Structure 1
């Protein structure tokens, strides 16, 4: 009985499964909303099967009216049946086909691509299809309605962009800037191509490459002159169709400064600059009033030799005199404030002389400044101070020589001091001994305390011919003599010599 029930329900389940597969029909669906894009962009036209079905080995076909846009048969694309205008611009998603994704990717859009597209799927003898509407429009190139003003020597940005924003670095897009009929700047195939650039603009133009992906095609023009004034055109060529925008550049004279000359001045140094051999030195030079010279040419010369050259926003020392190679530099961060001072390293006597700082393209009558460099040897520096005397003008003595002189002088002085102390000690000791020991008189008696008191001015030195007698007992005399010695210790010794 149980076996019968199991076989019954198994059979029912199999029958239902077969019925479901038979009744579930595969449907094809496209995007119901129209697809809009712009020239030269890429787009995906959506189309898929429901429920999912592997369409790898089926026929998938995209057409526009009667033109074959793309065809896929037997597991591969058939480009030979494709309309020529779509060659190399269409593709299906190979992995997506396994899941019923029939969407078409169309790149490098043209205005002629606009229209109604048909997505077809053929399974055995049955073909199913749906439709997608595509609209391709042109972008606008927008310049500046207001003129751009710049002064001589300045850098200026001429604004221009694409609307709607669009990647201007993609293939088949060319960006051109022109002034009248002259080529100012050209960008094509993701790189600048200025072979046809007018010589007036060589090395003076650039685009903002990192912003071009957002449609910014503005031009930066360096070191503006009065000759640059006029009408500029930014043009974008998309698949043979040219879109343009216009910008006007006006040249403006600088405002007159306080000295009413209307000019900037290059100022050197009225006082000479002195340096020791081997030192680094800064030769001061600046513009007055302060002025940004980063876009100008700055030259430093010594006589007729080139010391340092700055131009085109960087150092250019190809023609630099060999004597100054790798020894010079400017303060680039300070040039925006008009500081064009030169740093010269490892100065030698040969570097002495008159230096000239020169700004040749400055709109001024005073384009040069002079600086005198004096180089002295360390031993000949008249301003060098002594070691111990900060106001001394004498050459400082070596510390080793100073120590030697001190040793030579110190030794005799110390010896003399020791000798004097010894003599003083000897005389004081000897004087005490004479006062304590009795000396025989002519009558044979001993001279004692009374005789010393009677003649305090007597010569303390023993007379010639008188012999000092030793005493065995100084009992009574020691106390008196000790007291007297204590009283007389503070008195200076009378030295006849």
Structure 2
């Protein structure tokens, strides 16, 4: 994402000329930008007043008055973000440093300089280019031979001819799929993905750059990331969210022998079946707590482990990833109510404690356990009896 800073024509009064660059400036959203405003001849500070304001809203961005910088006068939106270069003011430089630029900073800024005899001003416009890439927020699961869709959407008004979207397999640094200069580029694909990975052509004008991957193979497991670039800006999502998608693949669900071999690698066993006395739906009193059992026979090294608890509706109840629980990933309905038994995870126990059960908690829950090589799962049903 970038923001463009365009300098407008200066308004000058006789005897006082305000300077600024003739070319536009660009800044990454979230970064800092300097809004120039200066005069050729230094002005005695006792005679000087400098106001930076938003032209569109009238908000006071910053003020120099009475020989002092007046931070207390700033609009709250700019407090701590907009500042003068203090040592430069006496030299006639009244430029403003604006930190952490956001889309809300779009608009015209006015630098007005007053002395006892005269005044002059200059305008600066910040215009941002909006490009947001979103994708799946939970891993995608598939068996060998199946097809899978990895989601990616681009929210932007940029013409397709100026947009570039790519899908990469990050753990192997392979370019899987590319859209550039207004069209899909199959010639850029490696042989292993040619004819298997493709866009939904009719959806592209709507900003949908999801990828369909056909005939999943076990070697496809790993992390795929979608990124988008324009002539003016760039955005790509990672860190487990946005356009960052983890694909889990195991041999065909129809081959029990292959599935057994998959589950036996690295001493991993399938998720232990729910004990017989808990195989029926657990009747739990409303407002009480219940433990949803899920465990494996052999402990799994934490650096290889990923555990997801999900509802039949697809909601994420809880997640263990990267050696730690991820409460920030939980569906709001389970935040603060569903938790792992932390000290038990290293022993292969991934059971979940659900507090303050409500009628909305009725239904099936799935515990999915993954390592770098394989996966297994178990289901648990809650019945509140109401």
Find the structure with the greater CA-based Rg: 1
Q: Which has a greater percent of helix?
A: 1
TM-score relative to the length of structure 2: 0.40
> Greater relative contact order: 1 or 2 (C-alpha under 8 angstroms, separation 6 or more)?
2
Q: Which has a greater percent of strand?
A: 2
